[in-house]
Copies of this chain bind each other. A is one copy, B any other.
Amino acid sequence: MDKLPKCGANYVPLTPITFLKRAAMVYSSRPSIIYRGVRFTWRQTYERCCRLASALRSLNVVKNDVVSVLAPNVPAIYEMHFAVPMAGAVLNTINTRLDAQNIATILKHSEAKVFFVDYQYVPLARDALRVLMANSQNSGRPEKLMPLVVVIDDVDQPTGTRLGALEYEQLVSQGNPGYVPAEITNEWDPISLNYTSGTTSEPKGVVYSHRGAYLSTLSLILGWEMKSEPVYLWSLPMFHCNGWTFTWGVAARGGTNVCIRNTTAVEIYDSIVSHNVTHMCCAPIVFNILLEAKSHERRQITTSVEILTGGAPPPAALLQKIENLGFHVVHAYGLTEATGPALVCEWQKRWNKLPVEDQARLKARQGISILTLADADVKDPETMESVSRDGKTMGEIVLRGSSIMKGYLKDEKATAKAFQNGWFFTGDVGVVHPDGYLEIKDRSKDVIISGGENISSVEVEAALYKHPLIVEAAVVAMPHPKWGESPCAFVTLRNAAAVEEAEIIQHCRRNLPRYMVPKKVAFIEELPKTSTGKIQKFQLRAIAKTFEISSENESCSANKSSSTTPQSSWEMPRHYQYQNQEQEQILALSRL
């Protein structure tokens, strides 16, 4: 019976494209997309995707070509999640908060053949193309490297903005509605390419397969228990791991995509009430947007809205406030290489009986592996032994399964480093609790090893955040003549407040075991961050190395450079900051 052959009837390669085809068949007249005054049904969305896919083919896009897009959460970027693979090509969504140099680097590295640009980002795209052109001319082969540009004008209120001859709606209208999508014959073929934001190094191009995207989509629907007909609000950028797969997932569930251009309190509250939103994803910073909204921006939420959040675990007090507004929060953990969330903190019914603080503590854990991940574990990376399930012993979080990326584009070295002994190494350090739930303690590079003890920088930072004058804190290792390493804290203060280093250290002594107390606290105007707002600890470590510590009295001679904001080549340039200051913060805390 192992000889029975595969055929077209019993072996169909897994691809998220089937979710759209099915939605067009079985949810045909239900709303697929709502954006301002524009509404589509699933039949229309399928037809529009067929048209766009056929238009791409007529632009000579062929199998495995990369099609890039720079856009906020408008209908076009949603449609491209299907239309690009339906043309056999690979979708590359670009973070709209990058600068021209970084975008040029991505366009060059990915060899993008077509570059879709939302009208609002035309100036940024123009600059990126100029950089790309300059680089290309230097390398002597300009034509091959320059992508064809298509502007996505606003579908609701066209502005007429152009950058070259092509426009999105024009392509759609010229396309063939009866186009038969390119057949996916191998589910291992690439479907999308997402560049990491580079917390610890240069960005890398993460490649997903059709199979991985398909299985991750099912996992996330299951892990979040998303029922059919959800009304999904796009408060998470689709350029973020393909919207944690919900670009495909909403089609799988026959739901409605509520697209918004800006993640403001007004747009979120209005959308929730006008369209009866049931689900949204976001970083915890969006909780603040919702909580700090002025009364005229708010609307009364009458039915519960499910929120899936990632990144920094939401503090108990914040959780309680947001749930009082009518939201229900589920916490997840993931990374680009795992197609978004890899662990979800599945709620257990018996926890409902616990005090609210215990609930928050349980909810703040990263949780258990999503269903299509074959395995998630915490291991000693030297011996590959699993750590004890005691909630204390730290190890590296490792994952394996078909929802893990194919690898890094054109980077064999990084790919080989990520995949070892049959596991993907996340670079995150965590523990396993007796009930099997994982909790992250730190990035592996950020763990401080002091006198043989592992110190989680996250725990030290949590203690610092309890000080009323501290706005932001980051803790890294500094060299120590006796202990090898010891914790060094960088903090920014509220409104140029004045406070002594000794007072902060005293505060830490009250809140931490002695060995975890920072030996040095440096005040800094601004912490160095990546374009997605993640703190670049490698820069802080470089500064910490310049601090001198006397082993005797354990005091430290402060270095003046600690008050200087370091510059990063991958940092977001100020003139291209997203127009909305709140949107700016959305991703600050997210690992995803």
Contacts and interface: CB of A to CB of B under 8 A. Distances in A.
Interface string A396-410: 000111101111010
Contacts of A252: 371
Interface string A26-43: 111100000000000000
Residue among A7, A368, A404, A420 with the highest chain B CB neighbour number at 10 A: A7
Interface string A346-379: 1111000000000000000000110110110000
A404 B421 CA distance: 34
Interface of A: 1-2, 4-12, 14, 18-19, 21-22, 25-29, 64, 90, 188-190, 193, 205, 207, 212, 215, 218, 221-222, 225, 227-229, 252, 254, 346-349, 368-369, 371-372, 374-375, 399-402, 404-407, 409, 415, 418-424, 435-437
A327 to B, nearest CB: 19
Q: How many copies does the complex hold?
A: 2
B26 A401 contact: no
A436 B4 contact: no
B10 A407 contact: yes
Question: What 7 pairs between A and B have smallest CB-CB spacing?
Answer: A8-B422, A26-B368, A12-B374, A4-B407, A4-B406, A10-B404, A26-B436
Contacts of A422: 7-9
Contacts of A10: 212, 400-402, 404-407, 419, 424
A423 B11 CA distance: 10
Given A26-B437, A28-B436, A193-B1, A8 B400 contact: yes
B419 A28 contact: no
A576 to B, nearest CB: 28
A8 B375 CA distance: 11
B218 A371 contact: yes
Contacts of A228: 225, 346-347
Given A1-B205, A2-B188, A9-B400, 8 more contacts: A1-B193, A2-B189, A2-B190, A6-B188, A14-B215, A26-B346, A26-B437, A229-B348
B221 A14 contact: no
Contacts of A225: 225, 227-228
A239 to B, nearest CB: 18
Contacts of A6: 188
B227 A64 contact: no
B222 A7 contact: no
Contacts of A5: 407
19 contacts: A2-B188, A2-B190, A8-B400, A8-B423, A9-B423, A9-B424, A10-B401, A10-B402, A10-B404, A11-B402, A12-B375, A19-B371, A22-B368, A26-B346, A26-B368, A26-B369, A28-B436, A228-B346, A228-B347
